[in-house]
Chain A
Amino acid sequence: MARYRSLRDLDWPLIIIALSICALGVLEIFSATHGTVWKDVWMKQLLAIAIGLVMLWLVTTIDYHTLMAQVPILYVLAIVGLVAVELFGTRSGGARRWLPMPWGFQLQVSEFVKLVIILLVARYFTELRTEQPGVVDLLKLGGLAGLPMLLVMKEPDLGTALTMIPVLVCGVFLAGLPWRYVLVILMVAGLVLPLTWGLLKDYQKARLTTFINPAQDPQGEGYQVIQSTIAVGAGGMWGKGVTRGTQTQLRFLPVPHTDFIFAAWAEEHGFVGVVVVLGLYFFLLMQIVENAQKAPDRAGTLLCMGVASILLFHILVNVGMVVGRMPVTGIPLPLLSYGGTSVLSVFMMLGLVNNVRLRRFVN
């Protein structure tokens, strides 16, 4: 198989777009953190990007069919990892999300669980030989994907848990779900959602209610949304310039280098900067979709579309949150937000896409 693994055959436009987003991210991380205790994290981000590229290559080299064969092992590893987080994870802001690693690194296991879910969904629908999945099949898949999701939810990290749903939805959609099932699912969801309200933590409820009406609590949860909207609006057409955004620099904007990095970007680079970055994301997604279309088999298509849907969901929820159109969920913006695990996980997803691309020349 080695003869197919040529650097030349990689999806270079995809990689260049991804690296461009990374570069702009590092610039904004630098700008948003300079003069603070996090002033050196942009270098850590650079390191994560470098490791990410290596991971991308590694994921590319192993045939995705081989990877999919290992799904049971990966699945068990994911569950063990999440349980380990529950038992030994480090606590930060009331949530256990990180597993301490040697040399002071911290691993956000849930980021890798996303990859496992993508592989799981792809394999499940590949093995399903019927034209249309039945109710029992869907329930089985729901159970399989639901277990890790519940564990992530328990951390608690509702946002990350929710990111798995679009993978499922996309898989079901592509596998050919009849419309009557769509209706049933919608009805069940309509019944279950009010019940889950009781399971939510108080701060999660507060986030949802303040999302609907931010002015109701301008100093609490609504504060973040209000300050973020102000930052975006104050950016205007051309932005205030690197390190010149007052909302970002004076810390009115919460976590301006992670979850709210796009607000910081919008304040310092204006509408023009926003269009540039969103344009890059759009082309990144279209490039992934193109690979899905050219995939050699159903599994390849499902893998690429899983990656595309999970990335689209991240972008929609994060950017929507920054402009006050989505609740505050704390999910990062892929490649732009600071966070080593997130960067690694996205590069591995892109590795999967390249993997599918390289195999299309088979036979």
Chain B
Amino acid sequence: MRLITTERQVDPVRPAHRDDAKLATGKIAFFQYVTLAVFILLIARFWELQVQSPELYLERAERNRIRAVPVLAPRGKILDRDGRVIVDNRGSFTLYLTRENLRPEHLATICQGLDLDCQELKTRLARFDKTRPKYEPIVIKQELTPGELAFVEAHRGQDTFPEMELIHSQRRLYARDGLAAHAIGYIGEVSEEELNTAEFARFHQGDVIGKAGIERQYNDILMGVDGQRRVVVDNIGRHRQVLSMKEAIPGQSLRLTLDLDLQVVADLAMENRRGSVVALDPRSGEVLAMVSRPAYDPNQFAGRIRAADWNELVKDPENPLLNRAIQAQLAPGSTFKPLVALAGLESGAIDEHFTVNCGGGGTFYGRYFRCHLAKGHGTVDLHRGLVQSCDVYFYNAGNRMGVDKMAEYAEMAGLGHKTGIDLPHEAEGVVPSTKWKARMYRQKWYAGETISVAIGQGALTVTPVQLARAIGGLSMGGVWYQPHLVKDQPQQNARVLKADINPESAARVINGMFGVVNEGGTGVRARIPGIELCGKTGTAQLASNELVKSGRLGEELKDNSWFVGFAPRQDPEIVVVALFEGGLHGNLSAPIVRDVIKAYFDKKARTAPPPTLAAGAGLPAQSPQP
């Protein structure tokens, strides 16, 4: 085979030697210069990298291999007044994504393996990339199931998913069925909006903080301080060596004033009802039970709450997130009458001999006001007026003293102001007065409005905890303590209001309330043999009677049923308010209060304090379950 045709045949094995080999000398020299130039250029580049700026690359190499892994501090437990656990922690695994190692094409597989919404995760990542430095990991799933854990372990082993970082953490474990949910609150990752406010400025992105209730109010005590582990990792994120370890400081436990026994009884009494129960110790302001229904399950918040679950809670017309005990502002109805009676006696507008003839209603300022009993109560004095809850009696009493006197005593008892209970977002309620109306509406007070206020209607609104505190202070003869939920913690600006009340006036009102329950009054259903339970029913209208009769109203506008009760008559130990929204009549709330007060005295009677809870409490099991 000949590669090319030339003029003469050449023996390829031994071609004629040509002297022109030397001709290439210049070109070979050129090659040498090219080689020298290449080596000089290469060495210059190494000089640039290794000698001129090695610190830059050393630092980047260190950042590559050293990773700060948070050691999460467990949150403090929340205990009841007897030291029983209400909120506990449970070990769980949290999955982080280290964004430095993230490969976008892995996201789909990760989302599939962990049952995550890929679009949502991508949005979060994009937002994170804009605001946070790259080395900060992002939590993508908390509380992994064993299946998900297996998925992570299987994929971390290969060279495929270096971005996944697993961290052992503590998960919040709340009581089931929303027991005490509103008082306790829940936790969650601090949001970006919150980080921009002064209250949350000290937290960092990704911190899990109390969002509501006690969890929020006492977050600093419960939260603890996260530690940090500096580890050497290889390119697939395996930990090769621990460089340093800063231990986490666990959060402190918090003992509440709540009594789980009473809480459970109150909770069961409110089952499938809308409303609230508040039990206070009037001698100290300690909250013994606080129920708001409907409730939510705080365990839904213990991990990252799913958007769908959150929307369901927020859009629920019954508003389960509302803590009715401190946030429901409703007309108290006849439960306001003891305070009107006290105001009348103290102001001198009425005395114990003042009587009214009730014929089923009365005309005031040109308008006819009905009594709840159409046939009338006949001749009524203060005692009968309270026992039978005669509206006509209180129309007259209120009319005699005027709205400002009633407002003065209502505010003395703490209505119209926050009680200062140690929970966030407490509502104030409204105590109407001439000044209030002038301020709010720039209008004159109409005398006819006084008549409605006298029976706890009109513009008057209270929260259950306000009413419990007001009646509790009355039962103590005029000492109002600030309600609180936590034991052993100094209460900030704790207020104790003492009023100079004539003991006889207080005793007359208290005797009337005793009669309500024990002398055939409106609250006989609250009677407990052997216990001197005093109370007052209330049926608060949300609309005029005419509208209700026309049948054009739904559930929302049915009358609210109230009952407030305390015991014993002398030296009271417990005051309980029950609000049953849409419960139609006050005597339907009476059994709720009766059950709670009975539970209180039953427990007191038991010599040895019970170590376990009532059945069906639905609390976290402390001992292995059968």
Contacts and interface: CB of A to CB of B under 8 A. Distances in A.
Contacts of B57: 229-234
A126 interface: yes
B49 A229 contact: yes
A199 interface: no
B446 interface: no
A128 B4 contact: yes
A332 B56 CA distance: 28
Given A250-B234, A325-B45, A271 B50 contact: yes
A233 B54 contact: yes
A233 to B, nearest CB: 2
Contacts of B17: 296-297
A309 B27 CA distance: 13
Given A127-B10, A297-B17, A320-B42, A233 B49 contact: yes
B13 A66 contact: yes
Contacts of A309: 31
B605 interface: no
Interface stretch (A38-46, A101-109, A151-159, A284-292): A284-292
A335 B171 CA distance: 57
Q: Which of A72, A140, A275, A298 has the most CB of B within 10 A?
A: A298
Contact of B56 (A233, A271, A292): A233
Contact of B15 (A127, A231, A286): A127
Contacts of A247: 61, 64-65
Given A219-B102, A219-B103, A312-B35, A323 B61 contact: no
B357 interface: no
A25 interface: no
Contact of A123 (B3, B20, B35, B102): B3
B107 to A, nearest CB: 12
Contacts of A144: 3
Interface string B53-64: 110111011101
A69 B2 CA distance: 10
Interface string A291-325: 01101111111000100110010011001100101
Contacts of B90: none
Contact of A316 (B7, B23, B42, B61): B42
Interface in A263-293: 266, 270-271, 274-275, 278, 281-282, 285-286, 289, 292-293
B234 A292 contact: no
B414 to A, nearest CB: 62
Nearest to A234: B61
Interface SS of B by simple majority = helix
A69 B31 contact: no
Contacts of B62: 246
Nearest to A362: B17
Given A233-B57, A235-B54, A316 B32 contact: no
A326 B227 CA distance: 44
Interface string B1-36: 111101110101111011011011101100110111
B38 A312 contact: yes
A124 interface: yes
Contacts of A319: 42
B3 to A, nearest CB: 6
Interface string B227-253: 000001111100010000000000000
A323 B46 contact: yes
A129 interface: yes
A222 B39 CA distance: 25
B161 to A, nearest CB: 12
Interface of A: 65-66, 68-69, 72, 123-124, 126-130, 137, 140, 144, 170, 173-174, 176, 219-220, 227, 229-237, 246-247, 250-252, 266, 270-271, 274-275, 278, 281-282, 285-286, 289, 292-293, 295-301, 305, 308-309, 312, 315-316, 319-320, 323, 325
Given A219-B104, A234-B61, A312-B38, 11 more contacts: A123-B3, A123-B12, A124-B4, A246-B61, A252-B65, A266-B46, A278-B39, A289-B31, A296-B17, A315-B42, A323-B49
Across chains A and B, which 9 residue pairs bring their CB atoms closest together, nearest first? A233-B57, A236-B54, A234-B61, A250-B234, A271-B50, A233-B49, A251-B235, A234-B57, A69-B13
Interface of B: 1-4, 6-8, 10, 12-15, 17-18, 20-21, 23-25, 27-28, 31-32, 34-36, 38-39, 42-43, 45-47, 49-51, 53-54, 56-58, 60-62, 64-65, 101-104, 232-236, 240
